[in-house]
Structure 1
Amino acid sequence: MDTISVNKFRDNLKTLVEQVVSRHEPLKVTRRAGEAFVVLSADDWEREQETLHVLQNKDLMLQIATSLETHKHGQGYRANEEQLNEITGI
């Protein structure tokens, strides 16, 4: 994550915000008092929230772990060609 001073951020606000949104890379902005904040696109913030939700949900994490184990052993659900085409949009 890149870091920039609040003064440089203010002077280049439009350009820096566009970079954060287009590159999907957060930007840390530091203040003189030592406090800092992070600029993050709304889409990236929503993805982070979804990830946190999954990581905090024990049932979902167990389901993922079980799925990984069955996959390692070549077991579990296998989609047919029609289902794969629907998923991939072919």
Structure 2
Amino acid sequence: MDTVSVNKFRDNLKTLVEQVVSQHEPLKVTRRAGEAFVVMSADDWEREQETLYVLQNQDLMRQIANSLETHTRGQGYTPTNEQMDEIIGI
């Protein structure tokens, strides 16, 4: 994660925000007399929230672990070619 001072952030706001959005990389902004803050795109923030939800949900994590275990043993669900086409959007 790149870091810039709040002064540099203010002076280059448009460019830095465009960089954060297009590169999907958060930017840490430091302040001389206060806490630093992070700038990230709304899409990236929503993705982070979804990830946190899954990681904090014990039932979902259990399902993922069980799925990985059956897949590793070769006993997992195998979709048909038609289902795979639908999944990957062909």
Partner of 1:22: 22
Q: What residue is the counterpart of 2:58 in the other structure? A: 58
Q: Distance in 2 between matches of 1:68 and 1:86?
A: 22
Q: CA RMSD in A?
A: 0.7
Name the SS of the counterpart of 1:43 in structure 2.
helix
Identity %: 82
- Structure 2 counterpart of 1:64, which letter? I
Q: How does 1:1-90 map to 2 (within 5 A)?
A: 1-90=1-90
Q: Deviations over 1:15-41 (max 9, x none)?
A: 000000000000000000141000010
Q: In structure 2, how many angstroms separate the alpha carbons of the residues matched to 1:34 and 1:89?
A: 47
TM-score (norm 2): 0.97
Structure 1: segments with no counterpart, 5+ residues: none
Q: What is the rounded CA distance, in whole Å, between the counterparts of 1:11 and 1:88 in structure 2?
A: 43
1:59 CA displacement: 0.0
Q: Structure 1 length normalisation: TM-score? A: 0.97
